[in-house]
Chains A and B, each alone.
Chain A
């Protein structure tokens, strides 16, 4: 995924990127995580900087290795987190991410998960909350190589628009070259349930508090079970408060 020259809109993975901001960060430092057979790892990344940030992370998982990556993409300028994962035999990758954007910000999460060998599992949960004129993008490709039978790949992608002027791009993609695999993706873009909001308000919660409570629950799905669930949740709530 690391490209030597500054990408253009023709590069699918950069189609919705804020290229002007990206230029100031280019070239991106490559981050590489390699887990040997049977190893386990976990990491939580919180992007809450004032300035633009872009990260390019490559993860290689050996046989039976397992990695749990969580991302909160909630800075106040352009924010991009790209992850490329290669799964060995029987490896497991769990990805939980939330992004929160307002103003005219662009945030994006781009993943490519390659099931290179049999019996690996991957699971991605991405939740976006978008206000104002913000754009939030998820591009997620799951590739099942020839011979990677017994693959189980799942993507659950949801975005919530707080204003009609915000934009969500969601593109889960499957490329399957093997038989006997199980891949599922669900994708939805919506608005906060008006009935639910009225119900909470009728009990005494001011509108902003009611929204916050519902959005907190929406985002929580990305962080449930994380080793640093508490830190991620608190940071997400702080970012939410900035949006409401």
Chain B
């Protein structure tokens, strides 16, 4: 589904990713772990197409298409979802309005008819229920006044509504208390653990992986993947730290 080959980039003239390669197949959940400053969030933003994350080498193939040639909204319509470490507040724009317009823009991009207001609300209610989020919160402006945990749950509701093929989740577990972590973990499983979908989890800690069991774990350090393994690698990292494992 996703084939990253020798990807290199620069942010503000500074090289961050330095030849990163990673292949993710449908039905797989991958976790990327690594120390601060390793380039984890940079990888997420680069795959999402954030301006200022300039690719200087390598390629990314997403279901047969050149991901790097697409605009951010085209990547979304192609089935990519980027879960933000720090979801952005958009004052004055309600979640419901924003998500309906976003979903219908994606559908339009794929040549599908738009959802009506009623159809959309039914879908939103179902997905909000999965994340135990009140519909009233979805009527409020995007992320404004939401706690850290509410923002992350709202991200997962967005993911449920937009129904992507591939979700790249950047530290979805940060800022979550134990209960919210479980709710988010179960949400990710319910929405994304399917044979035709895949997930790339970016995290510092093992704890999210207790709920969302990865098939593969990778260690990102110095802008590349330095080690890959099964779920046991995450436990090894948790016990011995990055320094010991990377060395």
Residues of A within 8 A of B (CB): 193-196, 198-207, 209-210, 213-214, 216-218, 220-221
Contact = CB atoms under 8 A, between A and B. Distances in A.
A196 B88 CA distance: 6
Given A202-B72, A218-B92, A213 B77 contact: no
Contact of B105 (A209, A214, A217): A209
B196 to A, nearest CB: 19
Contacts of B109: 204
Given A217-B93, A218-B92, A200 B102 contact: yes
Given A194-B51, A198-B72, A199-B84, A205 B90 contact: no
19 contacts: A193-B88, A198-B50, A198-B72, A198-B88, A200-B90, A201-B49, A201-B73, A202-B73, A202-B75, A202-B76, A203-B98, A203-B99, A203-B158, A204-B73, A204-B102, A204-B109, A205-B73, A213-B90, A213-B97
A205 B90 CA distance: 14
B101 A213 contact: yes
A214 B93 contact: yes
A203 B102 contact: yes
Contacts of A193: 88
Nearest to A201: B72
A220 B90 CA distance: 13
Interface string B65-96: 00000011101110000101001111111000
B92 A204 contact: no
Contacts of A214: 90, 93
A198 B48 CA distance: 9
B92 A201 contact: no
B29 to A, nearest CB: 21
Contacts, number: 78
How large, as a class, is the contact surface on chain B? 20 to 34
Interface of B: 48-51, 71-73, 75-77, 82, 84, 87-93, 97-99, 101-103, 105-106, 109, 141, 158, 162
A127 to B, nearest CB: 11
Contacts of B76: 201-204
Given A204-B77, A204-B105, A205-B101, 14 more contacts: A193-B88, A198-B48, A198-B50, A198-B88, A200-B98, A200-B102, A201-B71, A202-B73, A202-B76, A203-B76, A206-B73, A214-B93, A216-B92, A216-B93
A220 to B, nearest CB: 6
A209 B48 CA distance: 18
Nearest to A217: B92
Nearest to B109: A204
Contacts of A217: 90-93, 141
A214 B106 CA distance: 18
Given A199-B90, A202-B82, A207 B71 contact: yes
Contacts of A209: 101, 105
Given A213-B98, A214-B90, A220-B92, A204 B71 contact: no
Interface centre among A198, A199, A205, A217, by most chain B C-beta atoms within 10 angstroms, is A199
